[in-house]
Amino acid sequence: MEVISKILTSLGFGDYALIVLFLGIFIDITPGIKFNPVKTIFKYLGKSFNSSIETEISELKDDVNTKFTDLQKEQKRQKQALDKIILDGQDKEIGRLRWEIIDFSNGIQNKVKHSKEQYRHILNSFSRYKIIMEDIGITSDEYYHDVIKHGNDIQIHYDNHVNSGEAFF
């Protein structure tokens, strides 16, 4: 208490400041006016001591936000690269299935004999082709209609010969 008195006296405040300070610890002037000199002094001291910490926190927050933004950009670039890889793989799969179906259909037209297992495989490939094309929304493409025609021809040929008892047809 004596130290506070010396500080207030050296600042030019008298003993009355000490009394007001002491009473301010325990008494609010009115319920509507919240003036507490001790709280005010402690707030001021707290802000003084914590200003460097607040600056560091602000800088850290800025660094985190910058790194987070950079990470989001990198994730977006990686997602675009993966999407391109997936589309390229899908294009290759579509091309492979197209060729397989058309080649098999041409074989039938040229009287090449195939086993039931080969028919099952090509009909499965035909089903996968249709599903992939419907999933990506390409059902009005000229190639799509050609492959569907060949696939339907294969299905008809298979249905006509599957119960014939022949090993190859």
The answer as to whether 167 is a domain residue is no
Shared domain for 24 and 48, answered yes or no, is: no
> What rounded mean pLDDT belongs to the chain?
85
Q: DSSP letter at 168?
A: B
My answer on whether 77 and 145 are in the same domain is: yes
Residue 153 and residue 116 share a domain: yes
Provide the domain limits for residue 152: 36-161
Do 17 and 73 share a domain, yes or no?
A: no
CB proximity list for 114: less than 8 A, separation 6 or greater: 104, 107, 108, 122, 168, 169
**Pairwise pLDDT comparison (142 vs 96), residue with the higher score:** 96
- Please indicate whether residue 154 or residue 32 has the higher confidence score (pLDDT): 154
Query: How large is the angle between the packed helices 142-161 and 116-136, nearest 10 degrees?
Result: 150
pTM: 0.55
Asked if pLDDT for residue 3 goes beyond 90, the answer is no
* 24 and 94 co-located in one domain: no
31 and 41 belong to one structural domain: no
